[in-house]
Amino acid sequence: MKTLLHQRFDAVLRDRQLLEHPFYRRWEAGQLSRDELRDYAQQYRHFEAMLPGFLRRLSDSLAPGPARNLVEANWRDEVTAPSHLELFDRFADFYGATNTEMTAATQGLLDAYAEVLERDSVAALAGLLAYESQGAAIADSKAEGLIDHYGASEAAASFWVEHGSIEGDHATWTFDALASLEPDVTEVERAARLVGDAWWSFLDERELQAA
């Protein structure tokens, strides 16, 4: 079951590998402006602020057991001081980000997470895994780019450095939690694709704003 689940999950996101998106490729190449980094931080912060509540509600929806324990471990990583939101704010503050309203694509991203959470725990775990399965590589790439190209301080890069070290564990935990529920693989594919598309649209919007 785990092998099939891995194969189908990977296949449905094959064309939604976020490091292949033009925005992240420009990030890696040192081609983003400081304004783009600021605007990115302002929008991404809405996602980071939402995530602990998402994990808490997902945990509450699961019966006591391995899946719930794994989600709770993920949640604890998010909120234990310094919380991930606090680490993110070091990055956002460094590039002059301020509190702003959500754009259409950011709202769409949060709506996608809300939708999978409302469906059921299988959909919520699959949607969560759509990003977490890529999260460690994305975080490593962002941290390297910030330090090499954008003058980031150690504090400003700390959110991404931290995620580079833990997102692999989070992905493993989330996959194991999902597999333990013996899910309908088609349901997993639908949820993963919904969230994967929402992240792609979020990055598309960053590119359109730059243009």
| Per-residue pLDDT reduced to its tens digit, 148-202 | 999 999 999 999 999 999 999 999 999 999 999 999 999 999 999 999 999 999 9
> Distance between CA atoms of 1 and 71, rounded to whole angstroms?
20
Is the pTM here over 0.85, yes or no?
yes
Structural domains present in the chain: 2-29+38-210 (1.20.910.10)
Return the biggest CA–CA distance within the chain. 49
Find all residues with CB under 8 Å of 76, minimum gap 6, and list them: none
Task: Count Cβ neighbours within 10 Å for each residue of 134-160 and write b for 16 or more, e otherwise.
Answer: bbbebbbbbbbbbbeebebeeebbbbb
User: So what's the pLDDT on residue 186?
Assistant: 98
CB 190 within 8 A of CB 8: no
> With 0-12 CB in 10 A as exposed, 13-18 as middle and 19+ as buried, what is 122?
buried
Provide the Cα torsion 189, 194, 198, 200; round to 10°. 30
Q: Where are the alpha helices (DSSP H) in 95-184?
A: 104-119, 121-149, 154-180
Q: What is the pLDDT along the chain (211 residues), one digit of tens a residue?
A: 789 999 999 999 999 999 999 999 999 999 999 999 999 999 999 999 999 999 999 999 999 999 999 999 999 999 999 999 999 999 999 999 999 999 999 999 999 999 999 999 999 999 999 999 999 999 999 999 999 999 999 999 999 999 999 999 999 999 999 999 999 999 999 999 999 999 999 999 999 988 8
